[in-house]
Amino acid sequence: MCNLYRMDEKDIRLMKDWEGLALPPILPSFDQQMYPKGKGLILRAEGGAHLWDVMQWGVPMTLPGKRPGTTVKKHVTNVRNLASPFWRSTLQDATRRCLVPFTQFAEPKPGKDLSTGRPAQYWFKVASQPVAAFAGIWRPSEAGNVFAFLTCEPNPLIAPLHPKAMPVILHAADYQRWLSGENAASLAAPFPSQLMAPM
């Protein structure tokens, strides 16, 4: 499960190459190293136009607890079960889809990072795109607007390290289709290993 990624502010200028989309002159602050419940930069569609926004990462949900009759509140950052009515209705509404830009993302690694004391991570990037994008969805909540991104089967680069899933990374040619097209769920497929690189 990907619960850590980066969007380096110095690379924002490169996002202007996204099909001619320009960032507004002033953006709210966002976290450059993103953990769950952090503030992340997204791009969404509204009224036929594209809008850059900053939202909290993680959709608050009340889920069944381990013991019968108990519940636990979690912030869901990765969406895998697209057949669930909760996520299906969000995915079918094109205005609830978004692009989540990133420069690198991490998958958990056994043990601790000796330099930071935090859990160790494997880091990856899209070699041909300094700034790439996850397939995201967003929705309003009591805490304000929140977002998550889709996951899918891992590709051969990720699978030996994290066999359960990887984030859905979109090809640049599919950005517009994700934001406004039909059958968007078909884009939830592993990104080609040969276009990625470990860090």
Residue 155: pLDDT over 90: yes
pLDDT value for 25: 60
Residue 112: pLDDT over 70: yes
Instruction: List, for residues 3-13, the tens digit of each pLDDT value.
Output: 999 998 788 77
CA distance 140 to 145: 4
CB 2 within 8 A of CB 167: yes
pLDDT value for 20: 65
Q: Which CATH number fits domain 5-183: 2.60.40.420, 3.40.640.10, 3.90.1150.10, 3.90.1680.10?
A: 3.90.1680.10
- Give the global pTM: 0.91
Instruction: List, for residues 25-47, the tens digit of each pLDDT value.
Output: 667 788 899 999 999 999 998 88
Could you tell me how far CA 37 lies from the centroid of its own chain?
A: 13
Query: What does the DSSP assignment read for 138-172?
Result: EEEETTEEEEEEEEE---TTTTTT-SS-EE-EEPG
